[in-house]
Structure 1
Amino acid sequence: MLDSLMSQVSFVEVFNFCVFITFTICYTYQLFYVLVVLTRKAPRHVAQRNHRYAVMVAARNESAVIADLIHSIKVQNYPAELIDVFVIADNCTDDTAEVARDAGAIVFPRSNDKLVGKGYALDYGFKAIREQYGERGYEAYFVFDADNVLDVNYFREMNATFDSGAKASTSYRNSKNYGSNWISAGYAVWFLREAKFLNQARLTLNTSCAVSGTGFFIAADILEEAGGWKWHLLTEDIEFSASSIAAGTRIAYCPTAILYDEQPITFRDSWNQRFRWAKGFYQVFAHYAGSLVRGIAKNPRGYRFACYDMLMTIAPGMLLSIIAILFNSIIIVLALSGVMSVGQTVASSLSSIFFCLFNYLMFMFVFGVLTTFVEWDSIHSTTAKKIRYMFTFPLFMLTYIPIALIALVKKASWKPIRHSISVDVSEFSDAADRERA
């Protein structure tokens, strides 16, 4: 009897230890990223010449915010004649197209209820630009969401990155509504952490970064070679990143090109969006894990780590935590129902669940605090909210666990998120000047 009890406890402990070791081995390198950012400066580029760009914005019922984005592009510290803005008014039922035209954009209306999603809209826009404006000789294509606004130096800084030879590059993603509530702040801290402690470290170490949703460019020859925007999974940005890195294309990062993004403020919108992301990551992993593994083995030495890093980015790492929690929960149910011995078995499983959740929350709290303090001056909100949302950030991240679990078994589809926060990017510049004064 005692031997049976000890074997049950040992089995539970060994399983939980294996999960912990696997997670540690896979992701410890990201702690090294933090050290790199805190001890080394990111490289800077200086452009030798200005290049010509097309901007693509896929917009669906975005009349409340689209003009702000276009205005922030029109007032750039960069030659206006070298930037053309194209808005794909995708299945719109409002006056997005009219508002965008009045603001100075070239608009392509699109109606297609079969091929739904940002990737299809971008493909439609790219092909329309190539057909109607191909003679203008665009050297790269920028992609923004309609709710974005750009710092006045955004194109000047990204041009320096493109001029240095980058075939694709993402930028610094800030938020225009950090202070709305704990949900928007959770997003904001996550994207700031991604920009600072992932992409900046990758840039400094000369490995590949990853495109995240909005605020990036792709060289024209990459799109031409692909025959358009061919990435149509639920997370087309991550699909592009995985596809490019597996093929040996390095994605750059420009920490001085600042974009402000509007974040959801209701839990329903947040759930729907993150559910789609979770499902999209599973799709990308299923499609590209094999290519990335082969890239680790076969790519030139400088690109092998980039393949590993991207593999870990799309790998369902949170499932390790979910598996551990579910496993220990099943053990507890079996013990309480008499199938297994009670006592030490239940105690061991309960402690493992607590350990798993506690460590996850503490890890996120530390990252939230570190990100907030390192990026303090870049977060446009009050001191009280910055401190308060350091404590709610782990709770925001905790809600990813049920989302990731449900995304395993439930179908996902694109659902619109209403954007309504209109801002002039100069408001952020003025606030930064006041803080420095």
Structure 2
Amino acid sequence: MLEHLITTIGNAYPSYQAVYAMIGSVMTVLFFYKKIYKIMGIFFTRKFKPAKHNHKYAILIPARNEEAVIANLLDSIHKQDYDMSLVTVFVVADNCTDRTAEIARKCGAICYERFDDEHRTKGYALQFLFERIEEDYGRMSFEGYFIFDADNLLKEDYISRMNDSFDAGCKLITSYRNSKNFSESWVASTYALHWLRSIRTNHRPRSVLRLATNIQGTGFLFTNEIVRDGWKYTSLTEDRALTADAVAQGFEITYNDKAVFYDEQPVSVKVALRQRLRWSRGHLEAFVETGPYLFLNIFFGKLLVKTKWKRETVSFKDKGPVKGTLLALLESIRHRAASFDTLVQLTPVSLINIVRWLLISFFIYGCACYVNGIDDLSWITTGSWLGKLLRNFINPLLQVDSGWQALGLGLLMAFWRRLFYRIADYLENCLTAVYLFIIEYKRMIRIPLRKKILYCLTWPTFDIIGRWTIYLAVFKKVSWKTIPHQSQVTIDDIRQETVQRKAV
């Protein structure tokens, strides 16, 4: 009976292979625009004129046991060239057992303390903070809200640059995420390069096209309209959920390339794995929660969308019947394109790929080998540039009669060919790091050449970890845990290094 089942499955392999190819072709077409993004990101980004008006802002800093770094962030805020009488700094000391609250108050911030061990995500801390702001100040008394992590540092013109975007009418703005501990370890370097890649391949092109880029946890500004009824995002990755809701409501999420802040990256593999697993679980939850209405958005606009808040109605009637109709049409197209783009970004492509590979290219292929045997199968796959190169020099072939041995070798060959493809992909991705080191050279901290070479070689591990953590996140329950921050780099240290580099 088992042999009959294997034979039946193996005979159907050509049909399944066609399905595999069809899925791959569809994904290639749907993701092709990303190649255009990469080219645009080299040359273009949205630019903003100096603001005519200074706006009133609140800065929100959720912090859990951040006594080692929070003073440095607050110091960089106080050194802004913006009119600081228009800026109020709030800290929520969330389940802290150290001196975070004491230091925050000593540095001039308004600090609320929260103790709730059951609800431990950053989103719950922000929800609590917005409730306190409503009680004591009124959420709508501030025109916009910045959110930062306690380990961040702000370049001295950061708020002024973001105000340029806000004054231009932008409602959600993210910024240039640099790294203050880029060279502390190879793990930190992979994160630092990831943020730079996001800037070049996502933020810059989307800002030019007036689409919606993605919020990434910290270093962003949003209008008070979003929190009119409070903060609604308490999942493991509140930033993804906010992004999806904003896109569904028709908001453009733009990017300001001149607004620079510095972020501390994890330095150990253990901490990185813990954080990436949380990101992956949050990614899946955001896709399940927001994917369906983003899909509906593409075809029906906001007609069927139910999000956690509603945007104020945007009308073009005052532009006249012809111009107003044209602007409304263009806005509808922009909105649907942004919904498609965000849905593509949220889609767990690595899960789709591993499932179709395991099912068709591994299991069903092995059954086909059982039925048909293996006839002159090359050990070196041509599915990558590395395979095509090596075949010019060596091309060992495998030939086995049908049966159990063919099934076993077929499975082994499927695994080997996949591994070979990944090796080629790894080497190719090293070039991405080379590209980023070249194009972002002027904005990076100083890094020795030997470390740059090492970081180019280790950079692809970032995506490898991302794939495997998303596999694990399907089955593993994840809780929010503190990411330790210990870097003592200050904004003055970074400014001094910048001056020294320019002097060389």
TM-score, normalising length: structure 2: 0.80
2:449 and 2:88 map into 1 onto residues whose CA distance is 39
Aligned partners of 2:110 and 2:207: how far apart in 1? 34
Moved more, 122-131 or 211-220: 122-131
Q: Is the 8 A contact 1:377 1:432 kept in 2?
A: no
Structure 2 stretches of 5 or more lacking a match?
1-6, 302-331, 371-401
**Could you tell me which residue of structure 2 aligns to residue 91 of structure 1?**
95
One of 108, 118, 122 as aligned partner of 1:114:
118
The percent of aligned pairs where both chains have the same amino acid is 33
| 1:57 and 2:61 aligned | yes
Please list every run of 5 or more consecutive structure 1 residues that lacks an aligned counterpart in the other structure.
none
**CA pair 182-18 structure 1, distance change in 2 beyond 3 A:** farther
Aligned residue identity for 1:23? M
In structure 2, what is the equivalent of residue 431 of structure 1? 497
Q: Which moved more, 1:80-89 or 1:321-330?
A: 321-330
Confirm or deny: 8 A CA contact 1:364 1:394 kept in the other structure.
yes
Deviation at 1:66, TM superposition (A): 0.5
Aligned AA for 1:278? Answer: S
Residue in 2 that maps onto 1:369 = 434
Which of residues 177, 181, 200 is equivalent to 1:177? Answer: 181
Mapped to 1, the partners of 2:424 and 2:289 lie a distance apart of: 31
Provide the C-alpha distance between the structure 1 equivalents of 2:8 and 2:102, rounded to a whole number of angstroms. Answer: 74
Change (3 A) 1:422 1:346: same
> Taking structure 1 as reference, are residues 135 and 400 closer, same or farther at Cα in structure 2, changes over 3 Å only?
closer
The reply on whether 1:48 has 2:52 as its aligned counterpart is yes
2-structure distance, mates of 1:89, 1:376: 36
Aligned to 2:237: 235
Aligned to 1:386: 452
Distance 1:274 1:18 in 2: 31
Structure-2 separation of matches of 1:360 and 1:171: 30
The CA deviation string for residues 173-209 of structure 1, in whole angstroms up to 9 with x for no partner, is: 1111110111110011001111222111100111111
**Mapped contact 1:144–1:216 kept (Cα < 8 A):** yes
Describe how 1:254-265 pairs up with structure 2 within 5 A: 254-265=256-267
What's the CA shift for 1:80?
Answer: 1.5
Q: Confirm or deny that 1:23 pairs with 2:27.
A: yes
Q: What is aligned with 1:308?
A: 340
Pick from 78, 81, 99 the counterpart of residue 77 of structure 1.
Answer: 81
CA deviations 1:282-305 (Å, max 9, x no partner) are 001001111111111123111111
Describe how 1:180-195 pairs up with structure 2 within 5 A: 180-195=184-199
Q: Which residue of structure 1 aligns with residue 250 of structure 2?
A: 248
Q: Secondary structure at the match of 1:249?
A: coil
Structure 1 residues 343 and 421: CA distance shift in structure 2, 3 A = closer
Three-state SS of the structure 1 residue aligned to 2:450 is: helix
Aligned partners of 1:9 and 1:348 also within 8 Å: no
- The CA deviation at 1:117 is 0.9
C-alpha displacement at 1:127, in angstroms? 1.8
* Whole-angstrom CA distance in 2 between matches of 1:359 and 1:163: 47
The Cα shift of 1:68 comes to 0.5
Q: Are 1:178 and 1:184, in contact at CA under 8 Å, matched by a contact in 2?
A: yes
Q: Matches of 1:325 and 1:4 in 2, distance apart?
A: 19
Distance 1:235 1:363, change over 3 A: farther
Q: Residues of 1 paired with 2:99 and 2:112: CA distance? A: 13
Residue 208 of structure 1: aligned partner? 212
Q: CA RMSD in A?
A: 2.6
Q: Report which stretch shifted further, 68-77 or 297-306.
A: 297-306
Higher-Rg member (1/2): 2
Task: Return the letter of the residue paired with 2:437.
Answer: T
1:6, distance to aligned residue in structure 2 (A): 8.6
Seen in structure 2, the aligned counterparts of structure 1 residues 367 and 12 have a Cα distance that, compared at 3 Å, is farther
- Compute the displacement of 1:352 (Å): 4.5
Q: Give the secondary-structure state (helix, strand or coil) at the position aligned to 2:148.
A: strand
Provide the rounded CA distance (Å) in 2 between the counterparts of 1:196 and 1:260: 17
Matched, 1:396 2:462: yes
Residues 322, 401 of structure 1: 8 Å contact kept: no
The 1:61/1:14 distance shift into structure 2, 3 A limit, reads: same
Contact (CA 8 Å) 1:208, 1:251: kept in 2 or not? yes
